[in-house]
Structure 1
Amino acid sequence: MRRTRAKREPLSRERVVAVAVALADEKGVAGASMRAIAAQLGVEAMSLYNHVAGRDDILDGMVDAVFREIDLPTAQAADWKAAMRDRAASSRAALRRHPWAVGLMDSRSRPGPATLRHHDAVLGALRAGGFSVAMAAHAFSVIDSYLYGYVLQELSLPMASPTDVGEVAGDLLRDLPADTYPHLTEVITQHALSPDYDYTTEFDFGLALILDALQPDEL
């Protein structure tokens, strides 16, 4: 009796990009090489060129895939601040899932459809909230500058939980001459080591400052 071979899932641009994202999540962008992607898919590297133009095309697709994960605000949102807050929270979550992405998000010269939809939706929500064209662009820029910078710092910190913060701060405090660095000692003992301190809330605090400072100018 002749055995039937398992049908292989057809190769496509979407599969190539999905595998590239998974490899980058595990090994960083450098780990998502053409050869590594092909090996993961069980094909020769040259086969990928039937579906993507090359490495840059894959990077464009990877960035677009991350933007696709971000919840979009709607132009009909009654509260533009809530819309920007929710969008920023969703963006932060996506960037934490894909640590490699923060350095690539705005670096691509050929943005994909998900990227364009995202940018258009954010600007649309700001315009609906009473921002002029210029002020919407300013607001978008300052919010994302804060968002990307915060995530980059967050990913670099040697701690991932409030428990880690206590350990790092405690170790630092033991080697810190209080009379030499009195203000740093004060912040560690009275703030960072307090039972209810959670450094992850710093993002919300900074975002609130920015949103409160922004004012619609077409109301």
Structure 2
Amino acid sequence: MARPRQALLTRQRIVDAAAELVDEEGLEALSVRRLATELGVQGPSLYNHFATKADIVDAVADSVIEQVDVSAFGAFPWPEALRRWALSYHAVLVAHPNVVPVLAQGPGRRPFALAMADTVYGALIDAGFSPARATHIGALMRYLVTGSALGSFALGFHIDPSLYERYPHLHRAHRLAAHHVAVDEGAFALGLDLLINGLEVGTHR
């Protein structure tokens, strides 16, 4: 029997193609028609695997969360585990910035996102935090990580030095864009340090 001329259409092929499209062109570029064209199939065939475009977007978002390393929980004391998880979470989101607006809305019904939330929450409970405080910490970590990945603080400043002549404390702001990686990563590292150090102090009161 002759082999099929193209690989069989699977959920994973669809998710991989959709993720590549979103990474390269943004969420607005993703449509069932465009995705079908990229895969070399007819649009309706995608509905054999996903009921709606929103389901495809959810699957792409969850494939990003799947890349976050949660293995530190249970292997290290909670402050170090929280730090390692946050750094991995941040790195993954920075690598896939176009998906961040979806992830910022919360886990929804996405299996890997829910599993990550369950792991983090469970580790915080095991560390002795109350359910309410563990919830607050989980929310705070998500605000820090997703907020830092939503956009660059440094790139928000224009490179024209004349723009800041009226603002005596911003006379070097035009240089921020050229150093945006160092500025943005430094800000995230500072925020993470302050957050975890503050939580450690709070647990000893």
TM-score range (shorter-chain normalised) is: 0.7 to 0.9
Note if contact 1:67-1:114 (Cα within 8 Å) is conserved in structure 2.
yes
Structure 2 CA distance for partners of 1:146 and 1:110, relative to 1, 3 Å: closer
Question: Number of paired residues?
Answer: 201
2:147 maps to a residue whose letter is G
Aligned residue number for residue 60 of structure 1? 58
Match for residue 164 of structure 2 among 154, 176, 179: 176
- C-alpha distance in 2 between matches for 1:157 and 1:188: 9
Deviation, 1:111, is 2.2
Are 1:26 and 2:15 an aligned pair?
A: no
TM-score (structure 2 length as normaliser): 0.83
Give SS of 1:126's match: helix
Aligned residue number for residue 187 of structure 2? 202
- C-alpha distance in 1 between matches for 2:204 and 2:197: 17
Aligned residue number for residue 115 of structure 1? 113
- C-alpha distance in 2 between matches for 1:153 and 1:19: 24
Choose 73-82 or 96-105, whichever is displaced more.
73-82
- C-alpha distance in 2 between matches for 1:45 and 1:188: 48
Structure with higher Rg: it is 1
Deviation, 1:67, is 0.5
Give SS of 2:109's match: coil
- C-alpha distance in 1 between matches for 2:16 and 2:45: 16
Note if contact 1:75-1:124 (Cα within 8 Å) is conserved in structure 2.
no
- C-alpha distance in 2 between matches for 1:147 and 1:153: 11
Note if contact 1:130-1:218 (Cα within 8 Å) is conserved in structure 2.
no
CA deviation profile, 1:40-89 (whole Å, cap 9, x unmatched): 11000011111111111101101110110111144423321221111111
Note if contact 1:20-1:62 (Cα within 8 Å) is conserved in structure 2.
yes
- C-alpha distance in 1 between matches for 2:40 and 2:125: 48
- C-alpha distance in 2 between matches for 1:201 and 1:211: 15
**Identity rate of aligned residues, in percent?**
32
TM-score (structure 1 length as normaliser): 0.78
- C-alpha distance in 2 between matches for 1:131 and 1:141: 14
- C-alpha distance in 2 between matches for 1:109 and 1:132: 22
Give SS of 1:198's match: helix
CA deviation profile, 1:121-172 (whole Å, cap 9, x unmatched): 1112222322121111111111111111111132x7438xxxxx9x94xx42
Give SS of 1:50's match: coil
Give SS of 2:194's match: helix
Gaps of 5+ in 2: none
Give SS of 1:134's match: helix
RMSD: 3.1
CA deviation profile, 1:83-140 (whole Å, cap 9, x unmatched): 1111111111111221111100143674222111111111122223221211111111
Equivalent residues in 2 for 1:96-175, closer than 5 Å: 96-107=94-105, 110-154=108-152, 157-158=154-155, 168=159, 171-172=160-161, 175=163
Note if contact 2:107-2:113 (Cα within 8 Å) is conserved in structure 1.
no
> Greater relative contact order (Cα 8 A, min sep 6): structure 1 or 2?
1
